[in-house]
Amino acid sequence: MAQRFLVRFWGVRGSYPTPGPHTLRHGGNTSCVEVQAGTHTLIFDAGSGIIRLGDELLRGMNGTAHIALFFTHAHADHLVGFPFFSPLFDARTNIHLFGPQLAGQNIEQIVTPMMSPPYFPVDMRKLPSRRTFHTVTDDLCVMWHPDSGEPLLDGTRNEKRESEEEVCVMAKFTHSHPLNGAVIYSVEYAGRRVVYATDVEWHNGCEPEFLAFIEGADLLIHDAQYTVDDYRQGKHGFGHSTVEMAVEAAQAAHVKELILFHHEPTYNDSQLDAMEKTARERFACTRSAYEGMEIDLFKNIK
């Protein structure tokens, strides 16, 4: 089996897509991160970045494709690309969709209306792909054996893993994002770990449970939407972090590398560069996410 652990960024922007000359280097699409772990394709969030990812997955498809799509929450910037995710329209795809229950609705109830008339001309329930929905609960652990595309949901992270070749996704719920909270995900494979923590806000310091969850991660993708000045001038309580909050989390949890993510849509490339520079002064191993960025967990992280 191919041993690879790649993280690719297809959408790095928060709130709404912002194409244009000011965002060319970082990109204007909203949240979507692809993780290739062994033979498994995992996707985190279906912002507008998922549209190009879907097309690429179809181009590379050979036989049946197993895809796992994890939603952090249901805000539009994390769902807007979903109706245009082309593997949904292909009979060769087997898609497992994971997401939390929010405001009394499970993830199937959340995404089905946005892909049915009158919001969309095609009814998702009539599409040829195979789709299975799973509700993500706090501390859920989803595992894949090396040769199977079918996930195992055991609900516990303590079970002894049979092999390092297994892929394991763990979930942690945070209420720091208004109004209904969001899920933070951790992916572990072959002794390496990446955490996807977007749409979080630590205005009273990081939640201890969050720090325990991300402790020692090789790669931390963290919400860093605002500068401190903008945060103080009216963005407090919006559910997003400053660069300083992201750095504080990375330091306190001894992660190896920090990726600044969920960029504020009104910031241009130069402003994002300046935020990256500020972060590096306190945590040298920091990079600002951009569309097309690819990180090889077996190469980049020492």
Least distance between Zn ion and beta carbon 129 (Å): 26
Among residues 199, 244, 248, 291, the one that binds Zn ion under rule CB under 5 A: 199
List the 40-44 sheet strands across, edge first: 130-136, 93-100, 65-70, 40-44, 32-37, 5-11, 294-296
Near Zn ion by CB under 5 A, which window of 10-18, 110-118, 134-142, 166-174?
A: 10-18
Q: Does 77 bind Zn ion (CB under 5 A)?
A: yes
Q: For 148, list phi and psi in degrees, rounded to 5.
A: -120, 140
Least distance between Zn ion and beta carbon 288 (Å): 17
The answer to whether 53 and 7 have CB atoms below 8 angstroms apart is no
Near Zn ion by CB under 5 A, which window of 68-76, 102-110, 187-195, 281-289?
A: 68-76
Near Zn ion by CB under 5 A, which window of 14-22, 131-139, 277-285, 294-302?
A: 14-22
Least distance between Zn ion and beta carbon 275 (Å): 17
Given the complex with Zn ion, which of 14 and 28 has the nearer CB atom? 14
Within 10 A of 281 (CB to CB), how many other CB atoms are there?
A: 9
Structure token pair of residue 59: 């181009």
Least distance between Zn ion and beta carbon 75 (Å): 3
The answer to whether 1 and 146 have CB atoms below 8 angstroms apart is yes
Residue count (the chain): 302
Q: Does 75 bind Zn ion (CB under 5 A)?
A: yes
Structure token pair of residue 289: 């996410």
Within 10 A of 108 (CB to CB), how many other CB atoms are there?
A: 16
**H or E element at residue 281:** helix 269-282
How large is the angle between the packed helices 269-282 and 243-252, nearest 10 degrees?
A: 30
Q: Which residue is nearest to Zn ion (CB)?
A: 75
Q: Does 14 bind Zn ion (CB under 5 A)?
A: yes
The answer to whether 200 and 223 have CB atoms below 8 angstroms apart is yes
Near Zn ion by CB under 5 A, which window of 50-58, 196-204, 248-256, 285-293?
A: 196-204
Q: Does 45 bind Zn ion (CB under 5 A)?
A: no
The answer to whether 50 and 41 have CB atoms below 8 angstroms apart is no
Given the complex with Zn ion, which of 188 and 223 has the nearer CB atom? 223
Q: How far apart are CA 182 and CA 265, in angstroms?
A: 20
Given the complex with Zn ion, which of 17 and 38 has the nearer CB atom? 17
Least distance between Zn ion and beta carbon 162 (Å): 36
Least distance between Zn ion and beta carbon 101 (Å): 16
Near Zn ion by CB under 5 A, which window of 117-125, 164-172, 193-201, 207-215?
A: 193-201
Given the complex with Zn ion, which of 75 and 96 has the nearer CB atom? 75
Applying CB under 5 A, which residues contact Zn ion?
A: 14, 75, 77, 199
